[in-house]
Each structure stands twice: as C-alpha cells, then as structure tokens.
Amino acid sequence: MTSGSTLKTALVRAPGPRLAEGIVTHIDRRPVDVELAARQHAAYAAALRAAGWRVHPVEPAPDLPDAVFVEDTVVVCDGLAVLAHSGAPGRRPEVAGTERAVRALGLEVARIEPPATLDGGDVLQVGDTVYVGLSGRTNEDAVCRLAALLGARGRRVVPVRVTGCLHLKSAMTALPDGTLIGLPEHVDTSVLPGLRVAPEPAGAHVVVLAEDHVLISASAPRTAARLRAEGLRVTAVDISEFEALEGCVTCLSVLIP
C-alpha cells in the first residue's frame, strides 16, 4: 500500500542549466532556450497542481542535462518504486535523487540491475496490464525483471517492440478509459488489443489527470479538439523546448495516484 503522503503525488524535477546538452537520438538537434524551458516547466507543474496533484520536487541535478525527464528514472506501481537502469549510461546517475524522493514518500523500493536496462518512458500502465517497450533503452532482461516484480502485484506485463522513436510512450499512451492512442508505425500492433491513431505525432502523448481530464502538448491541437468533442477536459501545455530533446508531456512527471 502507498502511504497517505503519496496520495495523488506528482514527482517533477526542474530543468538544469545544461538542458540544451541533452541526448537527441531520432530527431535533428535544434537550439534550446533554457530560460523558456524553465518557464514552461513551471507552467507544467502548475497545471498538475490545478488538477489536484501535489507536486513533489525531486532534488535538482544541475550537471545532468536530461534529469528533467524524471519519468525515465522510476516506475511506480501499487506502492512499489522500481528504480530504472537506463540504456544510456550517462543518464544512470539521475536515479539517485529519485530514489531519495520515493523513499521520503514511504514507497517500497526495488531496482533494475545489469544486464537489464530500463527507461521508465518505456513503461505504460493501463489497468492491470503493463506494456513495456523493447527499445534502444530497454531490453528483454528488464521485461523479465518487471514481470516478476509487477506480477506479484497482479499485473500482466506485455513487451512491445518499438522502432524509430525513443520510448514506447513516445509512440503511444492511453486515454482515461484505457483506449490506447498512438502512432502505429512505431510499435508492434500485433500484441495490442487495438490502437487509435493519433491525429498528429504529439497526440500520441497523453497524461491522464483524472477520469475525465487529460494533459497534452499544445503542439497537438487536432487531438485536443477531438478529445474535447468526446467530452474530456483537456489541458494543453507548451513544452516546445523539451520536445526539441525528444521529450513529451509524460516524460516530465511521475504520477502516483
């Protein structure tokens, strides 16, 4: 069980001064405005608070350019925090600050150990199913380790091959009713129950804030309009400086319901 202090908590980590040096793998590098990124991150955190989430900052990591993408450092499920071991060696030191944060919240802690590699951005939890992307950052050893850890909590782990993008959640996420939405050209759809095609690339990235409320990027206006027409509350945030580093709305927080 999670402790009372973790109810509707969102872990976030402010961007550091070296953000523009973050890793870029599948897109062309462009300049990043670090001051604008700081303002965008503050607005992102404010949107979480406005939706009823208690924002819990993870300690800054000024020497780690990608540390703002806190989702990649941990997977939280039913009071268990599984600390990641990134397939990008330079990102592995980010986990230390996250570990201190989840221990302060009273979560049980486990970890992914080598030769397994895992980025949290490859893990999508939908009800009792946990989809795990097999990507450049996450390998089959990590899938096996997660299956053991989360299987004990009644979860079924489904590996999904990912191609042409950074993480599984770069390619697909889920709506509040569990419907998967994303970009079928980047995932093995044969292992999925179905995949609703997002109207634009950023429309594949949805953060569920409540049963009727989602957070998406301002760069997905067609998706936002469609979801509003279907009765969902949609909060759109501008995260252009993080998108320049292959980030998306899911990467910038870890929601602990």
* Residues annotated catalytic, as ranges: 167, 251
Which residues are CB-contacts of 24 (< 8 A; sequence separation ≥ 6)? 245, 246
- What residues contact 160, with CB distance under 8 A and at least 6 apart? 131, 132, 133, 134, 168, 187, 188, 191, 192
4: Cβ–Cβ under 8 A, 6 or more apart, which residues? Answer: none
Cβ–Cβ < 8 Å for 120, 146: no
Please, what's the largest Cα pairwise distance for the chain? 46
* Lookup: tokens for 91: 């990102």
Name the β-bridge partners of 124.
131
